[in-house]
Amino acid sequence: MRIDKYLWAVRLFKTRSQAAEACRNGRVFIHEEAVKAAREIKIGEVFDVKQHGVKFTYQAVGVPPSRVGAALVPQYLSDLTPAEEKAKLTAQRSVSAFEYRERGAGRPTKKERREIDRYKEEDIFED
């Protein structure tokens, strides 16, 4: 099965075109080499996918006949991502949680926008 089709079938990407774009942009790796969307994936092969600044590592356990439901994904894909990489993702989410607004909360007030801007400016200059 093509790698772009596999990534879509095991729900790592919402659409197949997004999976193909990730391959085109060099965000999918097998043996530390960027792969093209047409490359065939083999059972037992380990591959990396860069998303949101985090390098996720997976192993192909099986080849699905087509897109599978979320409950069936573990039959075809094994997550080997180290805990340190997953910690990066939670750290990013905690930083961006400051901007997150609950659904139905409406637009931020002028005061809230100023606080958000102040927070972003402090974050930029701390590095």
Q: 10 Å Cβ neighbour count for 11?
A: 16
What value does the mean pLDDT take over residues 22-28? 95
Residue 95 reports pLDDT greater than 80:
no
Cβ-proximal residues to 48 (8 Å cutoff; 6+ apart), any chain: 28, 29, 30, 32, 55, 56, 57, 58
Contact present, 85 and 52 (Cβ < 8 Å): no
Q: What is the pLDDT of residues 8-18, one digit of tens each?
A: 999 999 999 99
* pTM as predicted: 0.72
* CB-count burial class (<10 Å; 0-12, 13-18, 19+) for 123: exposed
The pLDDT, as a whole number, for residue 125 is 46
